[in-house]
A and B are shown apart, each in its own frame.
Chain A
């Protein structure tokens, strides 16, 4: 794999998971809202997350109506929009950051649609390796799903706790990169405890896919990361990082270093 002379951005994601598998480690997937707390700090934050041990960074595209997000990410999105950060500047921030960790564009469908048919190529040129669309479930819009699946980016799909087993298989077949398993009902945001049925849900999902399984929603502490790392290939931490980034880039980096240590001791 290392011999490939032309590396597409989607390959970067696959190579990262392959490397982690060889090392027997779990992926630490960190989320940041592009342009939060402001565009300059956003670039510094991505570099800090990269240096602190993030394996994959989800870069949130600010949207006016983030219906799947809890208060922390909503507020960060509003703040970024206040700085004029939409999809175009999100790509500029990604390009400026030049991080080693593969970047995944995390967006609602509308800004991606509005950006036009070349947006996936533009994202790839900005160093983005994958795309995840919160409000585009499998089967909702076959034409746009094909466009996303056939583009230069890995197309990451979501599985929910309510998803029946046969649909889990269908979702996995239509995705690439990794499968994002939502750990519990609800919107994004830190929770004190993990869902009790999570191990069973992960096991069901593993039964139908060979893609890496990353678990997100509600994970904020090293202890939770370690618990999830024991059953999944990766752990996604979002709101906790965004909250820390609201204080300072260094606060976010400290949190991520702690998560990294906890996850590697799993």
Chain B
């Protein structure tokens, strides 16, 4: 809309036509303001209530409007993570409970996409999260306590086997060689 108006003002091609257009636009889309506030939920473990109040410039609340709530995150660049959406009631208030994934300060945005008669708008608020959802944890591999000991047992067996082979070879060789020092003759039959 503003583009249309700026175009009209700068170019000044047809004053009447542009004024008419601007007038139609203003008449069609009333501006609205979105006030966003965050507060802890009644049950703190459930997180925070994000409450968006959508009010038209003439002071009347905008009801039956869909408000989308976003959390501003850094994930491969700044992104708006969709938390969810809610519809405004008779007072123009839309609420959503949000339990952040992590503690710490967060920036929340509520957006109203606009509809016939009401222009799009958005509101911002911050949130210092002191409760968060259960963190993602990696469970240790099953049986890891047991399987970490198995190599030692098997290693001991392997060493024992090697010792036995060594004994069979070296022991026999020693026995044969010491036996040879004694007097004696090899019998062929």
- Asked whether A and B interact, the reply is no
